Amino acid sequence: MVRSSQVSSPESTDNHLAKQESVLRIAAVGDLHCSYISPEFLQSVCNEMKEQADVVVLCGDLTHHGDPEEANTLLKCLQIFSCPVLGVLGNHDHEQGKADIIREVFEEAGIIILDGTFHTVNGVDFIGVKGFGGGFGEYALQPWGEAIMKEFVQETRREARKFENALKQSKSTQRVAILHYAPIRETVEGEAKEIIPFLGSSMFEEILMRYPVNLLFHGHAHHGKMEGRTRNHIPVWNVAMPLLHQTNPARMPFFVHPLKVTTPVDHHK
C-alpha cells in the first residue's frame, strides 16, 4: 500500500493543482542464488518482504546455475507478492546460456525483467540493465591488445549503451536504477583486490553523471559495502543477500528504502 497525503502551495493553488505526496517502499535484494540458497529460506524472506514492500526490486543472480528449473522454483516464492516485482538478471543467470528462457519464465508470470528498459510504478521510472565488469577509474580496462580483451571491454560498452538509452527515454523526474554489477568501487570494497575489475565498471557512473537518478541498487559483491555514492552524490546500495546477512544476521536479508514521490493533482477536473 502506498501511503499518501496532499499538500498545496501558493503556486500550485494558482494553477489549480495540488501536490500529492506519497512514500513508495522499495524492497530490494540481489543474489538470491536459488537452489544454493534453499527455497524454504527464500520463501521466508519473501513472506516478510511482502509486509514491507510497495514494489520489489531484484538485483540479479536469481538462480545459481542458470537453470530454468531454478527460476521456476524461485517463482513459487515470488508469486505471493501482489505488488509489482521487477529486476535484472545476473552473471549466474547466464551460466548455461539459457538467460532468455529464464527471462521468459519470470515474464510469463508477471515478473518484469529489465534489460536496457524501464518500467513505471506510481510515477517512478525503474531503469535496469545487468551491467558488466571492467574496473573503475584510472584502473579500468581499455579496449587494447588482444581481441579477447577488446571484446571484454566492448561487452561493458554494450551494456552501458543500453543503460544510457533507457535513461534517455525515461521522462520521469523520479528514477531508480537497477544493476547487477556495481557502478562505483566504493560498494565493492572488502572484496579481494584481485577480483575488483570483475565486479563492475565506472562506465555506468559516467552515464549517471549525465543522466542522474534518485538512487541505485546493485548486487554481485557479496563481501562489499552496503552504501556508497557516485561523484554526483547519487546513493548507491549494494543489496546482495549474503552481504545483507553478514551486515545484520538478526534480520531477514533484504533492504527497504522509502522513496518520497510527488505527483500533481488537478482538483478542478
> Tens digit of pLDDT per residue, the chain (269 long)?
334 333 333 344 445 556 788 999 999 999 999 999 999 999 999 999 999 999 999 999 999 999 999 999 999 999 999 999 999 999 999 999 999 999 999 999 999 999 999 999 999 999 999 999 999 999 898 998 999 999 999 999 999 999 999 999 999 999 999 999 999 999 999 999 999 999 999 999 999 999 999 999 999 999 999 999 999 999 999 999 999 999 999 999 999 999 999 876 655 55
Residue 191: which H helix or E strand, with range?
A: none
Residue 13 pLDDT: 42
Of 228, 210, 209, 217, give the one whose Cα is nearest residue 259.
217
Residue 7 pLDDT: 33
- Angle between helical axes of 203-210 and 147-169 (0-180°, round to 10): 20
Residue 95 pLDDT: 98
Residue 92 pLDDT: 98
Half-sphere exposure of 198 (CA within 13 A, CB side): 9
| Angstrom distance (rounded) from CA 7 to CA 255 | 29
pTM: 0.90
